[in-house]
Chains A and B, each alone.
Chain A
Amino acid sequence: MSIRNKYLVYVFSSLTLLWLLVVVIRSVSIENKHFYVPGILFGEEVKFNRDIRPIINQKCIACHGGVKKSGQFSLLFEEEALAVNESGKRAIVPGSTRQSELIQRIKHHDPEQRMPLEGEPLTDEEIRLFTDWINQGAPWQDHWAYRPPQPQEVPEFGKTWDSNGIDHFIYKKLSENGIQPNPESDRYSLLRRVSFDLTGLPPTLEEAEEFIKDTSSNSYEKVVDRLLDAPAFGEQWASMWMDLARYADSKGYEADRPRNIWKYRDWLIEAFNDNMPYDEFVTEQLAGDLLPDPTEKQLIATGFHRNTMNNDEGGTDNEEFRIAALIDRVNTTWSVLQGTTMECVQCHSHPYDPIRHEDYYRSMAFFNQTADADIPSESPVLVEFKDTVDIEKLSQLKSWVGERVKDPALKSEMQDYFEKLVRITTPKIHPHYFEQLDKGIPVKGTSLFKVTDSIPSRTRLLPFDGEDRVMFKIRSDTSVGVLEFRLDHPEGEKIAMWEVKRKTRTEYDEEEKKDKIYSVPEVISIPISPQTGKKDLYLVLKEVGQAGTTLNLEWVMLHHSLPGREDDQYQEAEKLLYDLFNSENEQETTPIMVELDENYRRQTRVFEKGSWMVLGDTVAPGLPEKWNEFKDGYENNRLGLSKWLFSPDNPLTARVAVNRFWEQLFGRGLVFTMEDFGSQGFDPSHPELLDWLALRFVNEQNWDIKELLKEMVMSSAYRQSSHFREDLKDLDPYNEYLARGPRLRLKAEQVRDQALAVSGLLSRKMLGPSVMPEQPEGIWQVVYSGTEWKTSQGEDRYRRALYTFWRRTSPYPSIIAFDAPSREFCLPRRIDTNTPLQALVTLNDPVYLDAALALSRKVLESSSKHWEDRLSLMYSMLMLRGIPVDKMEDLAILYKKTDLYFEQNPDAVCQIAGEEDRELAVYTVMANALMNLDEFLMKS
């Protein structure tokens, strides 16, 4: 045997041995053998998220997940997957396929044993993936979205198509797929696109001309800066956020009565205009009241979660609907800020994502300590006195307190206490915390509770420490009797009493032609003998004789008395307090969040299977363990929650935010399912870009929203023309790779605002109470509600759509037709539809006719005299570009036919134009047609 042969044999035997070794090692069943053996022996690396999770989600999780755990086996959490299950075996034993029951069962020949049961067996490839994965030690990976964003290298490339870092990521993906991007859009389209995207309004003709003329290299950037600074910017982005905040001017449910919360809408507009950083923007909305010395604006910001619905229907259980609102707050918070479908966990653990049933209630515990309840008054509200008399009285009251509290440390604290007492008035004990003892049977109060000589009412375990007065809002139908406040029993210790006095209002009755006297409610405060600890409080009515007095109470609360009792003017000071509480002068009230005092805290308990009637374990505030840690330093309240959200380790806050802003500009999020970043949502189209943008937003841009938006609209990706391409029809029908710019229908608000803007009707008045532009008769026919649609006058008829009064059960019809949600709940993503009802709105809604008429007046006033010039001008005023010849031909035909029509139907002229001006009528019809063009309703 030659050396060469010997060598060959040597090599051959070594290879054979090695092969044998691999085979042996791969089949040897030793747990954790992957610790000792190099991974290369177990084949190509199997990645859990890429290879295994999709199989699990599709074929296993329905039975072995958060809802069902068949055989006590679940694949939702690593520790569950590796645990011993019902059979006493482990389904997955890392390193050992033989011991892994999972492998045995997916390969089983007996259909009664084989998994998935009653389903198609796994393919050979899927079985191989599972086998290799277990051999490699069954390494678990969390879903991408639960790991913090990773720093990304900006891909290099030498093309000129790179305005900024965004383009590098986009181009990389395009070139990987062999696609070239579109060229930059024409300047007219680009200007219109960016103007709508940043301000929600079209550019003016002058702005367009200026931009076209500006040949400087940074002309586009100048436009972007101008738009970012425009007041309309705040309105545009507030409108977007109002869907998330489910902002409405009514309470929802049956009577759907009005709610005064427009100051929150104004706060949004101002916050966007002032470019409040995103972290502050969210923190103030979630927990503005918990910030140190919150400003009035920070309190208003908490209106975010006071936009939940309130059920005023008679006989509804106030606690049930408080809880409905609470649940909405939890779901909205998770959806808007974390892109997580937390609502799935209300009844059971999450079927697909690593969130446990208890986690829902731990989240809820953050929100469960606010003073609001499902009551008609919507307390707590922040009162703003409008009348100078009241404003003066409040300032006198504060001076009184300031002068009498000597300790400088306490001084402002006490002034603050009394200002809040007057302007917010918490913690009130509402009627549903009272039991009316009717023949001994306790009946909970509803919107009121009553006390009569035979029916005392009580509330349980009221914390008396430190309080020396009781205040209540009461209505009495006589002035006979004494209302006594007693402890622990209807005949218990008497701590206060009030001689019943009926407060009345006299009104002239038109029908009966005489004055009528009505009982009205009054706020009374009386001293109590100080108590310690928690005691039951009984309200008992005595000494009524034959009068049959009935007292109806709206709330009761304990509070501190004013300082300076020894002062001669003390009674006058108390009168100030009384006057402020009973003032009938104009005041503005806004619902806000107020945290309950330590003494009034609620317990949060798990609702078994999601039913609020079936209570489980008590839980403390907390968050799912897969996310970042809830650190010791965080407060156990909404403020702590906000700190947790904005911790650098939080995997989702920044990603969800940049994705949302991206979607508003590009029409499709990098994660398409903006509301679901979980394992059932879409994976990001550009994961590296998403992480890069997220980290940049946090670390380099310091949550600066305008800077983020600027970076996006400055990118070449955004600036591309939006022409569809035949070559991409099959390859990229939804423009996921971004080889073209976005072409999208204008949002509901923009459709209306544009028509008003181009015709010159749009009022640029900002902020203030919502308005009621013209709407068809008979839209508001809501039960038990006398609220009327009173058409606004003057410029308020033509305000931007976001100021339109939004009634949840009967939203403004033309806005709803264009896919705005009813705002009953948070809707993270509007679905664009294309329906005949939309066509009917822009063709026939009187607002669009007004706009057409106004536009044609503008055209007729211009220097153009020839009909073709006029039509061409009208087209340019709408589309901000010159009219193509072929479109002009169509317009010319219509023009001639319309002219003929009005010649033959002279009566129609005045009906359309409002005056005997045939030309005006003709052009109005032309404007109406032009305002219905696809190119007008879309942004290209």
Chain B
Amino acid sequence: MNVFEEYQMRTLQSSTRRHFLKKLTTGLGGIALGSMLGCQTRSDAQLPEGLEELYTQLPHFAPKAKRIIYLHMAGAPSQLELFDYKPELKKLNGQDCPPSLLEGKKFAFIQGIPKMLGPQADFKSRGQSGMMVSDHLPHFASIVDEVTLVKTMHTDEFNHAPAQLLLQTGSPRLGRPSMGSWVTYGLGSENDNLPGFMVLVSGGKTPDAGKSVWGSGFLPSVYQGVQCRSEGDPVLYVSNPDGMDGQLRRQTIDAINSINEKEYMEFGDPETLTRISQYEMAFNMQTSVPEIMDIKDEPEYIHEMYGTEPGKTSFANNCLLARRLVEKGVRFVQLFDWGWDMHGVSENESLDVGLEKKCRLVDRPMTALVKDLKQRGLLEETLVVWGGEFGRTPMQENRGGREWPFKGRDHHTEAFPVWMAGGGVKGGFTYGETDEIGYYGIKDKVHVHDLQATILKLMGMDHEKFTYFAQGRDFRLTDVSGKVIEKVIA
């Protein structure tokens, strides 16, 4: 059983059963494609018949972006302190929330009648475009003219885990492939020595929904995100055991591959040939991964720019790594930064203290990432996306129906921001409007599936045609909805 057969199953709909079965029995070697797709240069790989078909369909459009860096702020940053300037809300500060905003709504923690909470940060107009950005993000203020800001994202889920899954996999339930898996499945990697989809995590925790947010669901496991770790092996088991150097490892792999060739001569199983090439790639990864993960050799001005410290686990280091990875042709780099859930139940989880701290940790590196990509001429073909899984309420959270010493906001599904840069999106552009208190989108609302459809389009794929047959039907990233937001595309 290999990926190829899986692919064949999907073509059921375009050929009759008998014709299809005939096709299956003619001319298809048992080639393990998993490896090819995940980890090999497409142009070099000799594609078997059938898979050519998938590739002749792809791209559906001329791609604007070749690579993606997705910066996911797990926990959901508050739009009202960062990107959605609401002077009206300031005036309502401390007043009872009008019942009309509460009727029929479900909140994670708000109980009874909460009070409205004015913005806990000042805003200024920035750049040529005059985008209003919070003082919490002074560095970001300098790149607003590279950025499309979508203010009117909305989602269906008000808890972290399902909302993160909806955003990353298109479904709030576990078991679907993540965006990175889809993209790698469709486009492969551009590098022989690195996986096509890599994940970097900061903030001390994996996201609420766990590793499923970079899982491959029903796609073969070769498309799942490979987590790069900042402590221990950068990729699990990539280092040789103590006492074995690269040369001895090379020699063992030579022996393994040579014996495997003999095994192939005896049994004729094409899987054996695949295994030989996978051991080669494993060996290459042993050198290339630690190399790429080691940022010591970056010049001082780069460290200064990102705020990186070699050897540390930080969002800044991950931003720099993301650049290094896309530079090497990794298709999808996913960053998760944990700790944005400002409920106001402790100092670090508050809008007054915690949020500003978090902003200080991400503002400089995310800005540096965009600038650095630009100065290297990579920004044009690299799409950078930043956002959380939902937004936060204009009301102050009153968990347990009581008052808390710190200020916080509850989870909110109706309006939250996402910004994108590079990869064919407009610069200095704001899309969508929210109401006076940032509660609802009132113009140009963008559902999570719309964002996914747009990202796929930028990568050259039609989200309605890009499907995978599993469990008796075709699946796609955007489930059964999603509309491309054409206006954000440059």
Q: Does A365 belong to the interface (CB within 8 Å)? A: no
Instruction: Tell which of A253, A351, A352, A911 touches B243, judged by Cβ atoms closer than 8 Å.
Output: A911
Q: Does A668 belong to the interface (CB within 8 Å)? A: yes
**Residues of B1-53 contacting chain A, CB below 8 A:** 1-3, 5-6, 9, 12-18, 21, 24-30, 32, 34-35, 38-39
- A932 & B279 in contact (Cβ 8 Å cutoff): yes
Could you mark each residue 146-175 of chain B with 1 if its beta carbon is under 8 Å from any beta carbon of chain A, else 0? Answer: 000000000000111100000000000111
- A809 & B26 in contact (Cβ 8 Å cutoff): no
- Closest-CB distance, B244 to chain A (whole angstroms): 7
Which of chain B's residues have a CB closer than 8 A to the CB of A933?
Answer: 256, 259-260, 263
Q: Does A912 belong to the interface (CB within 8 Å)? A: yes
Q: Does A724 belong to the interface (CB within 8 Å)? A: yes
**Residues of A887-934 contacting chain B, CB below 8 A:** 887, 890-891, 893-894, 897-898, 901, 905, 907-913, 921, 925, 928-929, 932-934
- A912 & B241 in contact (Cβ 8 Å cutoff): yes
Which of chain A's residues have a CB closer than 8 A to the CB of B272?
Answer: 934, 938
Which of chain B's residues have a CB closer than 8 A to the CB of A438?
Answer: 111-112, 401
- A733 & B28 in contact (Cβ 8 Å cutoff): yes
Instruction: Tell which of A724, A838, A849 touches B278, judged by Cβ atoms closer than 8 Å.
Output: A838
Known contacts being A743-B269, A932-B256, is A840 close to B210, with CB within 8 Å?
no
B74, closest chain A residue (CB): A783
Q: Which of B231-239, B415-423, B455-463 contacts A (4 or more CB under 8 A)?
A: B231-239
Could you mark each residue 350-385 of chain A with 1 if its beta carbon is under 8 Å from any beta carbon of chain B, else 0? Answer: 011000000000000000000000000000000000
- B9 & A925 in contact (Cβ 8 Å cutoff): no
Question: How far apart sit A343 and B161, CA to CA, in the bound complex (Å)?
Answer: 22
Which of chain A's residues have a CB closer than 8 A to the CB of B285?
Answer: 836, 840
Which of chain B's residues have a CB closer than 8 A to the CB of A910?
Answer: 243
Instruction: Tell which of A352, A673, A681, A834 touches B35, judged by Cβ atoms closer than 8 Å.
Output: A834
Which of chain A's residues have a CB closer than 8 A to the CB of B282?
Answer: 836-837, 839-840, 843
Which of chain A's residues have a CB closer than 8 A to the CB of B251?
Answer: 894, 897-898, 901
Q: Does A55 belong to the interface (CB within 8 Å)? A: yes
- Closest-CB distance, A3 to chain B (whole angstroms): 52
- B205 & A782 in contact (Cβ 8 Å cutoff): yes
Q: Does B215 belong to the interface (CB within 8 Å)? A: yes
- B39 & A667 in contact (Cβ 8 Å cutoff): no
- A254 & B208 in contact (Cβ 8 Å cutoff): yes
Q: Does A776 belong to the interface (CB within 8 Å)? A: yes
**Candidate in A673, A837, A844, A929 with the most chain B CB atoms within 10 angstroms:** A837
Q: Does A586 belong to the interface (CB within 8 Å)? A: no
Could you mark each residue 110-133 of chain B with 1 if its beta carbon is under 8 Å from any beta carbon of chain A, else 0? Answer: 011100000000000000000000
**Residues of A330-359 contacting chain B, CB below 8 A:** 341, 343-344, 351-352
Q: Does B91 belong to the interface (CB within 8 Å)? A: no
B223, closest chain A residue (CB): A833
- A925 & B231 in contact (Cβ 8 Å cutoff): no
Question: How far apart sit A670 and B393, CA to CA, in the bound complex (Å)?
Answer: 55
Q: Does B212 belong to the interface (CB within 8 Å)? A: yes
Could you mark each residue 260-276 of chain B with 1 if its beta carbon is under 8 Å from any beta carbon of chain A, else 0? Answer: 10111011111110110
- B262 & A884 in contact (Cβ 8 Å cutoff): yes
Q: Does A399 belong to the interface (CB within 8 Å)? A: no
Question: How far apart sit A745 and B272, CA to CA, in the bound complex (Å)?
Answer: 10
Which of chain A's residues have a CB closer than 8 A to the CB of B175?
Answer: 824-825
Which of chain B's residues have a CB closer than 8 A to the CB of A309?
Answer: 174
Interface size on B, residues (CB 8 A): 106
Question: How far apart sit A668 and B210, CA to CA, in the bound complex (Å)?
Answer: 32
- B17 & A314 in contact (Cβ 8 Å cutoff): no
- B174 & A844 in contact (Cβ 8 Å cutoff): no
Known contacts being A254-B209, A824-B212, A833-B32, is A316 close to B159, with CB within 8 Å?
yes
Question: Mostly helix, strand, loop or mixed at chain A's interface?
Answer: loop
Which of chain A's residues have a CB closer than 8 A to the CB of B237?
Answer: 776, 813-814, 837, 840-841, 843-845
Known contacts being A833-B3, A846-B241, is A810 close to B206, with CB within 8 Å?
yes
- Closest-CB distance, A309 to chain B (whole angstroms): 7
Question: How far apart sit A734 and B271, CA to CA, in the bound complex (Å)?
Answer: 12
Q: Does A617 belong to the interface (CB within 8 Å)? A: no
- A724 & B267 in contact (Cβ 8 Å cutoff): yes
Which of chain A's residues have a CB closer than 8 A to the CB of B34?
Answer: 833-835
- A839 & B244 in contact (Cβ 8 Å cutoff): no
Which of chain B's residues have a CB closer than 8 A to the CB of A777?
Answer: 231-232
Which of chain A's residues have a CB closer than 8 A to the CB of B27?
Answer: 730
Instruction: Tell which of A682, A809, A837 touches B226, judged by Cβ atoms closer than 8 Å.
Output: A837
Which of chain B's residues have a CB closer than 8 A to the CB of A846?
Answer: 241
- B18 & A834 in contact (Cβ 8 Å cutoff): no
Which of chain B's residues have a CB closer than 8 A to the CB of A831?
Answer: 1-3, 6, 220-221
Q: Does B240 belong to the interface (CB within 8 Å)? A: yes
- B35 & A833 in contact (Cβ 8 Å cutoff): yes
Which of chain A's residues have a CB closer than 8 A to the CB of B1?
Answer: 667-668, 829, 831-832
Question: How far apart sit A849 and B244, CA to CA, in the bound complex (Å)?
Answer: 11
- A678 & B268 in contact (Cβ 8 Å cutoff): no
- A912 & B271 in contact (Cβ 8 Å cutoff): no
Which of chain B's residues have a CB closer than 8 A to the CB of A898?
Answer: 248, 251-252
- B212 & A822 in contact (Cβ 8 Å cutoff): yes
Q: Does B281 belong to the interface (CB within 8 Å)? A: yes
- B256 & A833 in contact (Cβ 8 Å cutoff): no
- A783 & B208 in contact (Cβ 8 Å cutoff): yes
Which of chain A's residues have a CB closer than 8 A to the CB of B208?
Answer: 254, 313, 783
Q: Which of B101-109, B356-364, B376-384 contacts A (4 or more CB under 8 A)?
A: B101-109
Q: Does B486 belong to the interface (CB within 8 Å)? A: no
- Closest-CB distance, A56 to chain B (whole angstroms): 10
Known contacts being A678-B472, A782-B210, A839-B279, is A909 close to B243, with CB within 8 Å?
yes
Question: How far apart sit A734 and B25, CA to CA, in the bound complex (Å)?
Answer: 8
Known contacts being A824-B175, A832-B1, A890-B259, is A809 close to B241, with CB within 8 Å?
no
Q: Does B258 belong to the interface (CB within 8 Å)? A: yes
Question: How far apart sit A382 and B28, CA to CA, in the bound complex (Å)?
Answer: 53
Instruction: Tell which of A722, A733, A844, A925 touches B267, judged by Cβ atoms closer than 8 Å.
Output: A722
- B17 & A822 in contact (Cβ 8 Å cutoff): no
- B160 & A313 in contact (Cβ 8 Å cutoff): yes
B31, closest chain A residue (CB): A733
- A912 & B244 in contact (Cβ 8 Å cutoff): yes
Q: Does A54 belong to the interface (CB within 8 Å)? A: yes
- Closest-CB distance, A671 to chain B (whole angstroms): 13
- Closest-CB distance, B482 to chain A (whole angstroms): 17
**Residues of A660-695 contacting chain B, CB below 8 A:** 667-668, 672-673, 675-676, 678, 680-683
Which of chain B's residues have a CB closer than 8 A to the CB of A142?
Answer: none
Which of chain A's residues have a CB closer than 8 A to the CB of B255?
Answer: 890-891, 893-894, 929
- Closest-CB distance, B369 to chain A (whole angstroms): 23
Q: Does A584 belong to the interface (CB within 8 Å)? A: no
**Candidate in A743, A840, A891, A893 with the most chain B CB atoms within 10 angstroms:** A840
Question: How far apart sit A782 and B204, CA to CA, in the bound complex (Å)?
Answer: 9
Q: Does B56 belong to the interface (CB within 8 Å)? A: no
Known contacts being A254-B160, A667-B1, A921-B243, is A58 close to B262, with CB within 8 Å?
no
Which of chain A's residues have a CB closer than 8 A to the CB of B212?
Answer: 809, 822, 824
Task: Pick 18 A–B contacts, CB within 8 A, sort by A.
Answer: A254-B159, A315-B108, A675-B472, A723-B266, A733-B28, A809-B211, A810-B206, A813-B236, A825-B174, A832-B2, A834-B35, A837-B226, A840-B238, A887-B262, A894-B254, A901-B251, A908-B245, A925-B248
For the complex of A and B, list the 8 residue pairs with the smallest distance between their C-beta atoms, beginning with the closest: A809-B210, A911-B243, A315-B108, A341-B472, A724-B268, A839-B282, A912-B243, A894-B255
Given A824-B174, A834-B32, 8 new contacts (CB under 8 A): A667-B1, A683-B21, A733-B25, A781-B206, A822-B174, A834-B35, A932-B256, A933-B256
Interface residues of A (CB under 8 A from B): 54-55, 57-58, 252-254, 256, 309, 311, 313-317, 324, 341, 343-344, 351-352, 438-439, 441, 443, 667-668, 672-673, 675-676, 678, 680-683, 722-726, 729-734, 736, 743, 745, 776-778, 781-783, 808-810, 813-814, 816-817, 819, 822, 824-825, 829, 831-841, 843-846, 849, 884, 886-887, 890-891, 893-894, 897-898, 901, 905, 907-913, 921, 925, 928-929, 932-935, 937-938, 940
